[in-house]
């Protein structure tokens, strides 16, 4: 468990934004506690380590060749303004990328909050709202901290207006869909339904990230960083939620059992 902490310490020193450093400190404190199961903590550690490694390699310039190769591979060699594949693939990519946009994610999050409110679970509702909002804030601060320019290697197929690293769409898709997938899975006693909900959340998260690279608005490593950041945040929030449920600070779901409380 302690082996990953030096990497997180390096990331904390590397980030220029004080608030972003505080976020890493929170992860460090969480890693030193016994909150959650070994499996969920291991996943959290893996996601944090993945983000740290991706950020370090990007800052050193070691990812530039791979980033360029993947971006160019998704374009017609005769015309870099034309993504590979028929027009309907490009249109589908725009549809997928919209699933990671602020408007769609806000609508989905508020819908989930309304669901919890109707079930008379106000504390769980506020926890979900704060989890998603906190993830958005962290993603924005990291963008400002790293301030990586958008790729200009190929024309953009959609409008962009912020820095590149990490991918905000990828991070927020992971944060929102994984968090809500885990939440909805808690209401299902059937294990197959739980697996289906989580698999669907993972699929949508991956589709959003891939669409960002396909449309030429992100380097592949931006998306990888967004995925790992979002996964780490979602898993961390889930660990905290489980602890709060055990202490009664957050309402438990009807489908929970003693064994359920130990499994994210």
Q: CB of 23 within 8 A of CB of 48?
A: no
Confidence of residue 260 (pLDDT cuts 50, 70, 90): very low
Mean pLDDT rounded to a whole number for the chain: 79
Concerning whether 144 is annotated as a catalytic residue, the answer is no
pLDDT of residue 32: 47
Confidence of residue 26 (pLDDT cuts 50, 70, 90): low
For residue 9, how many other CB atoms are within 10 A of its CB? 14
pLDDT tens for residues 59-111?
A: 888 888 998 898 888 887 777 777 788 889 888 998 999 999 889 999 999 99
pLDDT tens for residues 57-67?
A: 888 888 889 98
pLDDT of residue 96: 92
Three-state DSSP state, 218: coil
Percentage of the chain exceeding pLDDT 70 = 75
pLDDT of residue 164: 78
Q: How many angstroms separate the CA atoms of 100 and 207, rounded? A: 9
pLDDT of residue 35: 43
Concerning whether 62 is annotated as a catalytic residue, the answer is no
E strand or H helix at 102, and its extent? helix 102-118
Segment 121-125 shows an average pLDDT of: 86
Q: CB of 127 within 8 A of CB of 111?
A: no
pLDDT of residue 184: 78
Q: Which of 126-140, 166-180, 241-255 has the lowest mean pLDDT?
A: 241-255
- What does residue 82 show for φ and ψ, rounded to 5 degrees? -110, 110
Q: How many angstroms separate the CA atoms of 242 and 246, rounded? A: 6
Segment 163-190 shows an average pLDDT of: 84
pLDDT tens for residues 27-67?
A: 455 444 454 467 778 888 889 998 998 998 888 888 889 98
Segment 219-243 shows an average pLDDT of: 89
Q: Which residue has the higher pLDDT, 155 or 65?
A: 65
Q: How many angstroms separate the CA atoms of 125 and 117, rounded? A: 6
pLDDT of residue 10: 54
- What does residue 152 show for φ and ψ, rounded to 5 degrees? -110, 10
Q: Which residues of 133-171 are buried (b: 16+ CB within 10 A; e: fewer)?
A: eebbebbbbbbebbebebbeebeebeebeebbbbbbbbb
């Amino acid at each position: 468990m302690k082996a990953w902490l030096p990497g997180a310490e390096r990331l904390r020193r590397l980030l220029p934004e004080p608030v972003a450093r505080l976020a890493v400190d929170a992860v460090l404190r969480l890693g030193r506690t016994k909150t959650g199961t070994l499996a969920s903590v291991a996943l959290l550690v893996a996601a944090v380590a993945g983000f740290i490694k991706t950020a370090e390699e990007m800052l050193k310039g070691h990812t530039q060749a791979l980033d360029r190769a993947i971006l160019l591979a998704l374009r017609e060699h005769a015309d870099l303004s034309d993504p590979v594949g028929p027009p309907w693939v490009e249109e589908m990519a725009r549809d997928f990328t919209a699933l990671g946009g602020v408007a769609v994610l806000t609508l989905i999050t508020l819908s989930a909050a309304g669901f919890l409110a109707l079930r008379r679970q106000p504390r769980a509702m506020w926890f979900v709202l704060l989890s998603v909002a906190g993830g958005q804030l962290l993603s924005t601060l990291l963008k400002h901290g790293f301030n990586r320019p958008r790729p200009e290697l190929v024309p953009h197929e959609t409008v962009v207006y912020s820095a590149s690293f990490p991918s905000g769409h990828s991070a927020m898709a992971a944060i929102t869909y994984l968090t809500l997938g885990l939440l909805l899975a808690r209401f299902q006693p059937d294990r197959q339904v739980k697996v289906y909900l989580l698999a669907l959340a993972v699929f949508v998260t991956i589709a959003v990230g891939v669409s960002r690279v396909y449309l030429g608005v992100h380097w592949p490593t931006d998306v990888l960083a967004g995925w790992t950041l979002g996964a780490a945040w979602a898993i961390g929030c889930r660990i905290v939620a489980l602890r709060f449920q055990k202490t009664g600070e957050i309402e438990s779901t009807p489908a929970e059992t003693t064994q359920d409380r130990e499994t994210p």
